[in-house]
A = this chain, B = another copy of it.
């Protein structure tokens, strides 16, 4: 059974006993197929941008380094392209039918990364300096805008009715993504955020675009709205499971695997699920945590904090039940996602792969 490893070496189960073990080789092949089919189209799309945006985008995607030399940097897990190709197959179309959708979704995802990193002041992503750090804020804004426009352009130039429907779904997802980032920013300035507010924000920020990835290939392949909606339901809850795991990794993840600092989300004072759940649990540890975080909020920076200070807060979150609740939430969303799949008629091997991907999302360590 699969686990998330804590920083003290203990393990936290994230999938229920009895869940079949994920065939990692199978999932790797799936992610690899998504990357292989979508990367050439992505590169050709980026090459359309006016200089220096093409270069800045190539840096962002990890194709070149800051000096412009070709690199082979980590360009992300590529879960969304893999989902978009499976989505086309779920509608009985070829995986290739899903490629423009896969690329469009990845472009929107990366548009949001470029802008969010700048808004949040994040200096590192995937072990590398972020675009605004290397190329300046103006290029981060501009290239983000360009990728967003390019996403719609790629779909609409297919010129089909299906492409129009796919673009509409992508636009709806993009708006939710932006709403989610607005909520995320506004929550930072508030003392308390409810669990419901946190879930709504994560649904917008992560669920909506994963949902679109799982419907867009099917729509391009001619699926009706009911099928697309059900696939989106799977994707939306998969996104919430994904984000719950991300929130666990943001506090207890292994820095070597995630590429982030220890206690990353605590350092950024993120009101992520484990924190809001711990604060909502109402016990004695929850109250102590509440007082401590209210005190922390008065000092503008964490410069004087030691590893022990963060470890102490993480321990309180865990004691107040925030860690267990979030792991349980990942399992709950995983289960809801799989139930939505039962309502779509699709080839058995496609369903198996969507299940394997869902399992992968909740057991990953980075």
Contacts and interface: CB of A to CB of B under 8 A. Distances in A.
B137 A153 contact: no
A175 to B, nearest CB: 5
A296 B175 CA distance: 44
B156 A171 contact: yes
With most chain B CB atoms within 10 A of its CB, the pick from A48, A156, A186 is A156
Given A141-B119, A161-B164, A182 B152 contact: no
The 8 A-B pairs of least Cβ separation, nearest first, read A164-B164, A50-B179, A156-B168, A119-B138, A152-B171, A149-B175, A149-B174, A153-B171
Interface in A149-165: 149-150, 152-153, 156-157, 159, 161, 163-164
Contacts of A164: 156, 161, 163-164, 167
6 contacts: A111-B145, A152-B152, A152-B171, A153-B172, A156-B168, A164-B164
B182 A142 contact: yes
A14 interface: no
A314 B138 CA distance: 29
Contact of A178 (B145, B156, B163): B145
Nearest to A53: B182
A334 interface: no
B181 A142 contact: yes
Contact of A152 (B52, B141, B167): B167
**Contact residues of A: prevailing secondary structure:** helix
A185 B144 CA distance: 15
Interface of A: 48-53, 111, 115, 118-119, 137-138, 141-142, 144-146, 148-150, 152-153, 156-157, 159, 161, 163-164, 167-168, 171-172, 174-175, 178-179, 181-183, 185-186
Given A137-B119, A141-B115, A51 B149 contact: no
A152 B151 CA distance: 12
A141 B141 contact: yes
A156 to B, nearest CB: 4
Contacts of A159: 168
Contact of A148 (B145, B150, B167): B145
Given A119-B137, A138-B185, A163-B164, 17 more contacts: A51-B182, A52-B186, A53-B182, A115-B141, A137-B137, A141-B141, A142-B181, A145-B145, A145-B178, A146-B182, A148-B148, A148-B149, A149-B174, A152-B152, A153-B171, A156-B164, A159-B168
